[in-house]
Chain A
Amino acid sequence: MSERQNDAPVRPQPRRGPGGHGPFGGMQMPAEKAKDFKGSARRLAGLLGPEKVWVGIVILVGAASVALAVTGPKIIGNATTVVYEGLIHGTGVDFPRLHGLLFWVMGIYVTAALFGLLQGLILNSVTQRTVFKLRARVEEKIHQLPLRYFDQHPRGELLSRVTNDIDNISQSLQQTLAQLFMSALTVLGVIGMMFSISWRLALIALVSVPLTAGIAMMVAKRSQKMFVAQWKHTGTLNAQIEDMYTGHALVKVFGRQKEVEARFEEENERLYRASFGAQFVSGIIMPATMFVGNLAYVAIAVVGGVMVAHGSLPLGDIQAFIMYTRQFTQPLAQLGSMANLLQSGVASAERVFELLDADPQSDDPSPAKSPRSKHGELRFENVSFRYVPDQPLIHDLSLVACPGKTVAIVGPTGAGKTTLVNLIMRFYELDGGRITLDGVDISEMTRDDLRARTGMVLQDTWLFEGTIRENIAYGRPDATEKDIHRAAEAAYVDRFVHALPDGYNTVLDDNASNISAGEKQLITIARAFLARPSVLILDEATSSVDTRTELLVQHAMIELRKDRTSFVIAHRLSTIRDADLILVMEEGAIVEQGTHHELLEAKGAYARLYEAQFAAPVEE
């Protein structure tokens, strides 16, 4: 909902739709390579482990279907021979025999179709269940990962792993699993049948295999290069487009429009040339495959014809061979296009496995301790912490926040203020020292317990796509309607909610065009109100709001802070001025502690910061 500006651009993914049966391969993004193909592929296959029995059934049924389908052409060939025999020997066609054969064939085909269907249905279920479980595992992992992981990995990338990569795995599994097995079996079966009929013709037909493979590989190599070029230019062009559209006003007002347009035209032309090359070269595969198939067809017609003329081959076998050739070139072509898909799927699987392998946060202690009171006394005792080993941040920090008092933390950016919050909420683990809440070390409490006792109002107003009511009640799902209203009133949310057409049922959407930034902040304050924590943390919560709503927010926060221990990190000295204790931080260390007046008199870092709020014209 917030932080939209920092979203990594999500790559426009070419979505594959239904009907993946045609040999349309080669018209998509070149597969990204997995770092450890074998290992990841094995692990991916391993995901199917729990479905072993079903996979076994699928293999059996599939094999049966293929076996049946593969005998079809031979019998049709025999039927053709029966007709031919009838002709040559002048006895007329032996219809009973013919019809018998044809009935057989019909039965075979129908059964093969049914088996094929059965196999497909089972495989479909297996694949879907596997993906379902994978998604669930990934989501579970998200909730086990320490916050450090999220801060270290760009959010766009994580999102891509959790969405795009899983989608890719799903599609890869669906399309390759079914076809890979059946295609391979079909090819083997057909080859077997062909050899059993006539090894000479079989060899001719088989010559087409290395020919097709050779052509496919040549084309793939050439087209791969072109695809890479195409995607490079696409990336550059897209970056230009994104720049121009997002910085639209700037491009114009800074007088760069003509130049931007000229650069676009250049790159567009380059993209056109690269994509033409890629599409043309990869578009050759299909005609080339058809060409090889036709060649085989001609060869079989001629050589087979000669053999029949010499009487060394029944006529029907030519028919059978023609059908066999068709029956195996199609799966062969599919196997080729599958390579891409498989690679891409395994690469995605690798990324997802990386996520699943990441270290989880430490378990909650058991047995866990829990503070008996709810006063909200927070102590830091000799706390040390750093995000990165060579960048010291907090060192030997000790402070006491008494129940009901407000502690303000001030200091220049990067001084470690947000870090204090991370530590109090136990989003990160300490390197040294300890923090206690009402006498109990927070690392000895369950995380849920600690967080139930603390409330947060952050600078980023995170709200989810639900009604205002649901968002306010986020902190306490068992809240009553009255509780919600009271919290809303206290946060000055009630008054503007009533001006909305749907009131509390107004759904907050991603664009949130119906609610202003300030009003969103008020909702987060209401949420904090409702949660009734004993320790409150306000993290730079007031800086993105306009002056009018600012008043409301300030009043609301003052109310919120009553009788609660509060940690306030803010820029506005007016808020800080009223604090019971001010902590001045500089480069991770607390350099001063005291009340506003004490610190002013000390004429130290605080006094300097305070004076800096006003520039020269206002004389002291």
Chain B
Amino acid sequence: MLWNLLVRSVRPHGRLLLGVVIFQLAQSIANLYLPSLQADLIDKGVANITNGVPRPDIGHIWHDGGIMLALTFFQISCAITAVYFGAKLAMRVGRDLRAHVFAQVGSFSEHEVQHFGAPSLITRTTNDVQQVQMLVMMASTFFIAAPFMSIGGVIMALRQDVGLSWIMVVSIPVLLAAVSAIVVRMVPHFRRMQKRIDAINRVLREQLTGIRVVRAFVREPVERERFAQANADVTESALKAGRLMVMMFPTVMLVLNLSSVGVLWFGATRVDSGEMEIGALFAFLQYLMQILMAVMMATFLFVLVPRAAVAADRIGEVLGTDSTVVPAVNPVAKFAGKGAVELRDVTFSYPGAEKPVLSNISFVAKKGTRTAIVGSTGSGKTTLVNLLPRLYDVTEGQVLVDGVDVREAALEALWSRIGLVPQRPYLFTGTVASNLRYGNPKATDAELWAALEIAQAKRFVEEMPEGLETEVAQGGTTVSGGQRQRLSIARALVRRPEILIFDDSYSALDTATDARLRRALRTAVKDVTVIVVAQRVSSIIDADQILVLDEGKIVARGTHDELLESSETYREIVSTQLRAEEVA
């Protein structure tokens, strides 16, 4: 998956990749030439042994030095260019991946979003893309240079002297083996450590969240014990991982240094016998160093790959998931404009589920009427109302708005008729005004205040430091739950929809506010079709029709009075809430 993802992401930027490769190659070659030049400098310049007598040629020294200097400047320009291309490539990959994932999630229906969960999707779009991006960045700077340097280094070393090459044959694998052994053992320890860090963080999180309960139930000793255990676990893992990490540097240095000693030892013999020049000794030492360094760097970087692979998998999952709600081929954009809603024999199951959430639901909500839906949790109420704006698609049956099947409708046209007040009111980053205008950017301030008044939110917005222009924190956490709900209601009202959907939107309001709100709504939205999902009977007592849902089926329907007579279930629900006298 990682490979596929990388190939797909890098392909459109092939030229950048080519640039990286070319310039990394160039700078590697430059780096690799320096020791050879130095060897020449020593052999022909400093020593210049002819017939056993040294005859230093200073001019030659300067000459070689000049070339080396030029090479150095060449090297840095190539290196910087390589970084330029590499950074560009990596960041482009990141940008493109983010855009792909975002667009894909944008096309999702509610089902896919719930399946992954919004927090997970956020992580996948941010952290996971970041991981892959980092990998491309590292790869284009080090991964590409490493093979050039190591293979090139081997070649150059052989050019200097073939006889010593066996040292490389020994030391390179030894280094590889040592570093790999350490890294391979280290990675599982780090993974375990990460898990244990997650565990200890979870314990702390629970303690912080439930501090009242912990204290109320006098559970500090137990909690502290849990924590102490988790702390010991983390420390144990960290110790083990740390020990391995500590071994890395001394091991590498030792291999490097001992190899150098080997070169000198055996090289001396060869120089003595005339098979090798002294300058070559210098060069060989340099090359060995360069090769081993390159190998080491590559090994370190391999550690990044597993994590990026996991990230790539997660991204791939999102990209590979198609939305279950497919826009219509020939969308119908015109509606008769009445706002009538009908569900015809609707059945809905989640994809892959055995039991349907809704079965054979049929009802009609005429324009301007109030329909209420009650039932226990899990009876499918929210799913039902989510069918209207096509947040989910039915498995069987039809959802019709003004006679048009929503699956045939142009989504924008459909949505422009609907005002949704969801169960969990979410406010966007911005101001109170920008949130209220969310469904109707052209609304005037007067319209905003009118909606606020109906939603019983006028007073607290007036009391806010900047009124309508007060900043709202992300998610709306700077206002209380009840205030958020009322703002959410006002937002839907500003949109002036033909169909208003309230999904248990009164739950955070106390009964007095609830009552005032309903009274205000009744007069303000006379021609609007209202569909309400509610827990409190008092919220729906005046509905034109009430549907009682149980396990996905409508078990009773009618007005409040009719249901009191006909439905045992309804009576039961009511009796838990109303005054005794009323029930009688």
B309 near A: Cβ within 8 Å?
no
Is A574 touching B105 in the complex (CB atoms < 8 A)?
no
Is A298 touching B69 in the complex (CB atoms < 8 A)?
yes
Distance of A308 Cα from B108 Cα, bound (Å)? 74
Interface residues on A, range: 35 or more
Task: Tell me the smallest distance from the CB of B212 to a CB of chain A, in Å.
Answer: 7
Is A272 touching B91 in the complex (CB atoms < 8 A)?
yes
- Please give, as numbers and ranges, the residues of chain A lying within 8 Å of B450 by CB-CB distance: none
Task: Tell me the smallest distance from the CB of B496 to a CB of chain A, in Å.
Answer: 12
Is A163 touching B216 in the complex (CB atoms < 8 A)?
no
Is B377 touching A516 in the complex (CB atoms < 8 A)?
yes
Q: Which of B168-176, B246-254, B341-349 contacts A (4 or more CB under 8 A)?
A: B246-254
Find B541's partner among A76, A123, A310, A618 (CB 8 Å cutoff).
A618
Mask: chain A, 263-277; 1 = CB below 8 Å from B; 0 = not: 011001101100110
Is B52 touching A90 in the complex (CB atoms < 8 A)?
yes
Closest residue to A327 on the B side, CB-wise? B253
Distance of A249 Cα from B477 Cα, bound (Å)? 19
Is B208 touching A243 in the complex (CB atoms < 8 A)?
no
Distance of A301 Cα from B38 Cα, bound (Å)? 7
Q: Which of B150-158, B233-241, B361-369 contacts A (4 or more CB under 8 A)?
A: B233-241
Given the known interface contacts A18-B241, A294-B75, the answer about A280 and B507 at a Cβ–Cβ threshold of 8 Å is no
Is B204 touching A452 in the complex (CB atoms < 8 A)?
no
Task: Tell me the smallest distance from the CB of B511 to a CB of chain A, in Å.
Answer: 5
Distance of A498 Cα from B162 Cα, bound (Å)? 78
Q: 16 A-B Cβ contacts within 8 A?
A: A17-B304, A117-B247, A143-B224, A174-B242, A252-B411, A254-B439, A264-B102, A280-B87, A295-B69, A297-B38, A298-B34, A308-B46, A318-B42, A474-B213, A544-B507, A573-B511
- Please give, as numbers and ranges, the residues of chain A lying within 8 Å of B110 by CB-CB distance: 248-249
Mask: chain B, 77-97; 1 = CB below 8 Å from A; 0 = not: 001101110111011101100
Find B282's partner among A124, A298, A319, A456 (CB 8 Å cutoff).
A319
Given the known interface contacts A124-B246, A319-B285, the answer about A93 and B219 at a Cβ–Cβ threshold of 8 Å is no
B297 near A: Cβ within 8 Å?
yes
Is A117 touching B377 in the complex (CB atoms < 8 A)?
no
Task: Tell me the smallest distance from the CB of A262 to a CB of chain B, in Å.
Answer: 11
Is B123 touching A12 in the complex (CB atoms < 8 A)?
yes
A199 near B: Cβ within 8 Å?
no
Is A268 touching B216 in the complex (CB atoms < 8 A)?
no
A14 near B: Cβ within 8 Å?
yes
Q: Which of A132-140, A367-375, A391-399, A434-442 contacts B (4 or more CB under 8 A)?
A: A132-140
Q: Which of B351-359, B399-407, B412-420 contacts A (4 or more CB under 8 A)?
A: B412-420
Given the known interface contacts A147-B211, A155-B209, A287-B76, the answer about A93 and B272 at a Cβ–Cβ threshold of 8 Å is yes
B340 near A: Cβ within 8 Å?
no
A79 near B: Cβ within 8 Å?
yes
Closest residue to A304 on the B side, CB-wise? B46
Closest residue to B72 on the A side, CB-wise? A294
Interface of B, secondary structure class, is helix
Task: Tell me the smallest distance from the CB of B301 to a CB of chain A, in Å.
Answer: 8
A9 near B: Cβ within 8 Å?
yes
Is B374 touching A88 in the complex (CB atoms < 8 A)?
no
Is B212 touching A17 in the complex (CB atoms < 8 A)?
no
Find B511's partner among A76, A241, A315, A612 (CB 8 Å cutoff).
A612
Closest residue to B114 on the A side, CB-wise? A248
Is B72 touching A295 in the complex (CB atoms < 8 A)?
yes
- Please give, as numbers and ranges, the residues of chain A lying within 8 Å of B87 by CB-CB distance: 276, 279-280, 283
Task: Tell me the smallest distance from the CB of A320 to a CB of chain B, in Å.
Answer: 11
- Please give, as numbers and ranges, the residues of chain A lying within 8 Å of B247 by CB-CB distance: 117, 120
Distance of A246 Cα from B113 Cα, bound (Å)? 9
A203 near B: Cβ within 8 Å?
no
Closest residue to B112 on the A side, CB-wise? A248
Is B45 touching A309 in the complex (CB atoms < 8 A)?
yes
Closest residue to B49 on the A side, CB-wise? A87
Is A551 touching B415 in the complex (CB atoms < 8 A)?
no
B474 near A: Cβ within 8 Å?
yes
Find B374's partner among A110, A272, A547 (CB 8 Å cutoff).
A547
Mask: chain A, 93-108; 1 = CB below 8 Å from B; 0 = not: 1010011001001100
A362 near B: Cβ within 8 Å?
no
Is B34 touching A297 in the complex (CB atoms < 8 A)?
yes
Given the known interface contacts A83-B268, A572-B577, A614-B541, the answer about A243 and B474 at a Cβ–Cβ threshold of 8 Å is yes
Mask: chain B, 368-408; 1 = CB below 8 Å from A; 0 = not: 00000011111000000010010100000000000000000
Is B391 touching A113 in the complex (CB atoms < 8 A)?
no
A613 near B: Cβ within 8 Å?
yes
A196 near B: Cβ within 8 Å?
no
Is B208 touching A3 in the complex (CB atoms < 8 A)?
no
Closest 8 CB pairs of A and B: A548-B376, A120-B246, A309-B56, A302-B65, A287-B79, A462-B210, A19-B300, A272-B95
B201 near A: Cβ within 8 Å?
yes
Given the known interface contacts A128-B235, A294-B34, the answer about A531 and B272 at a Cβ–Cβ threshold of 8 Å is no
- Please give, as numbers and ranges, the residues of chain A lying within 8 Å of B482 by CB-CB distance: 413
- Please give, as numbers and ranges, the residues of chain A lying within 8 Å of B257 by CB-CB distance: 72, 105, 109
Find B535's partner among A93, A269, A310, A547 (CB 8 Å cutoff).
A547
Is A456 touching B216 in the complex (CB atoms < 8 A)?
yes
B422 near A: Cβ within 8 Å?
yes
A554 near B: Cβ within 8 Å?
yes
Is A298 touching B511 in the complex (CB atoms < 8 A)?
no
A485 near B: Cβ within 8 Å?
no
- Please give, as numbers and ranges, the residues of chain A lying within 8 Å of B480 by CB-CB distance: 413
Q: Which of A255, A425, A427, A573 has the most CB of B within 10 A?
A: A255
Q: Which of B7-15, B125-133, B331-339, B451-459 contacts A (4 or more CB under 8 A)?
A: B125-133
Closest residue to A264 on the B side, CB-wise? B102
Find B243's partner among A124, A551, A612 (CB 8 Å cutoff).
A124
- Please give, as numbers and ranges, the residues of chain B lying within 8 Å of A9 by CB-CB distance: 474-475
Interface residues of A in 514-552 (CB under 8 A from B): 516-518, 527, 531, 543-551
- Please give, as numbers and ranges, the residues of chain B lying within 8 Å of A18 by CB-CB distance: 183, 186-187, 190, 241, 245, 303
Is B579 touching A577 in the complex (CB atoms < 8 A)?
yes
Is B202 touching A256 in the complex (CB atoms < 8 A)?
no
Is A245 touching B105 in the complex (CB atoms < 8 A)?
yes
- Please give, as numbers and ranges, the residues of chain A lying within 8 Å of B376 by CB-CB distance: 518, 546-549
Closest residue to B518 on the A side, CB-wise? A615
Distance of A3 Cα from B481 Cα, bound (Å)? 11
B563 near A: Cβ within 8 Å?
no
Distance of A240 Cα from B62 Cα, bound (Å)? 61
Distance of A18 Cα from B542 Cα, bound (Å)? 65
- Please give, as numbers and ranges, the residues of chain A lying within 8 Å of B88 by CB-CB distance: 276, 280
A181 near B: Cβ within 8 Å?
no
Is A287 touching B34 in the complex (CB atoms < 8 A)?
no
Is B573 touching A548 in the complex (CB atoms < 8 A)?
yes
B515 near A: Cβ within 8 Å?
yes
B319 near A: Cβ within 8 Å?
no
Distance of A549 Cα from B377 Cα, bound (Å)? 8
Closest residue to A274 on the B side, CB-wise? B91
Known: A17-B303, A135-B234, A612-B515. 11 other contacts (CB 8 A): A69-B253, A150-B211, A155-B209, A163-B200, A279-B87, A283-B83, A287-B27, A309-B58, A315-B278, A573-B579, A615-B541
Mask: chain B, 48-72; 1 = CB below 8 Å from A; 0 = not: 0100111010100110110011001
- Please give, as numbers and ranges, the residues of chain B lying within 8 Å of A269 by CB-CB distance: 95
- Please give, as numbers and ranges, the residues of chain A lying within 8 Å of B216 by CB-CB distance: 425, 451, 454-456
Q: Which of A18, A308, A326, A571 has the most CB of B within 10 A?
A: A18
Mask: chain A, 1-42; 1 = CB below 8 Å from B; 0 = not: 111011011001011011101100001000000000000000
Interface residues of B in 14-57 (CB under 8 A from A): 27, 31, 34, 38, 41-42, 45-47, 49, 52-54, 56
Is B186 touching A257 in the complex (CB atoms < 8 A)?
no
Distance of A121 Cα from B247 Cα, bound (Å)? 8
A158 near B: Cβ within 8 Å?
yes
A288 near B: Cβ within 8 Å?
yes
Is B122 touching A238 in the complex (CB atoms < 8 A)?
yes
Distance of A250 Cα from B108 Cα, bound (Å)? 13
A458 near B: Cβ within 8 Å?
yes
Is A124 touching B118 in the complex (CB atoms < 8 A)?
no
- Please give, as numbers and ranges, the residues of chain B lying within 8 Å of A234 by CB-CB distance: 126
